[in-house]
């Protein structure tokens, strides 16, 4: 199950999904035209100019995000410094060297 589905199930909230999209722009346009409601990051709602209102969810949904670097190229000095800062702030796990192969 996806993140939102898990949260809805935990809250015993029934959903009726009429459509799904991978495009935030299409989702926002659909909401603007009255097709329903969407669950997406607050910044995607407030920074768009679509005239939408962000309604906070309680409890708030959270998810893990990652810093992306090129698989076949060593990090540049600036990238290494940035990843170091993330580790210093405990945003990136120790021992990963900022790299975790994906897909």
Chain CA centroid to CA 86, Å: 18
Statement: residue 103 has pLDDT above 50: no
Q: What is the pLDDT of residue 77?
A: 93
Position with higher pLDDT, 16 vs 82:
82
Collapsing DSSP states into helix, strand and coil, what is residue 10?
helix
Statement: residue 2 has pLDDT above 80: no
Statement: residue 98 has pLDDT above 70: no
Q: Which residues, 6 or more positions from 6, have their beta carbon under 8 angstroms from its beta carbon?
A: none
Query: CB burial class (10 A; 0-12, 13-18, 19+) of residue 58?
Result: exposed
Statement: residue 30 has pLDDT above 60: yes
How many CB atoms sit inside 10 A of residue 27's CB?
21
**Residue whose tokens read 């076949």:** 72
């Amino acid at each position: 199950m996806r993140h939102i589905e898990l949260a809805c199930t935990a809250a015993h909230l029934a959903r009726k999904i009429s459509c799904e999209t991978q495009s935030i722009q299409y989702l926002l346009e659909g909401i603007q035209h009255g097709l329903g409601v969407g669950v997406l990051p607050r910044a995607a709602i407030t920074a768009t100019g679509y005239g939408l209102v962000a309604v906070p969810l309680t409890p708030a949904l959270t998810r893990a995000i990652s810093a992306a670097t090129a698989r076949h190229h060593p990090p540049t000095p600036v990238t290494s410094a940035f990843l170091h800062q993330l580790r210093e702030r405990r945003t990136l796990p120790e021992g990963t060297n900022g790299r975790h192969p994906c897909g």
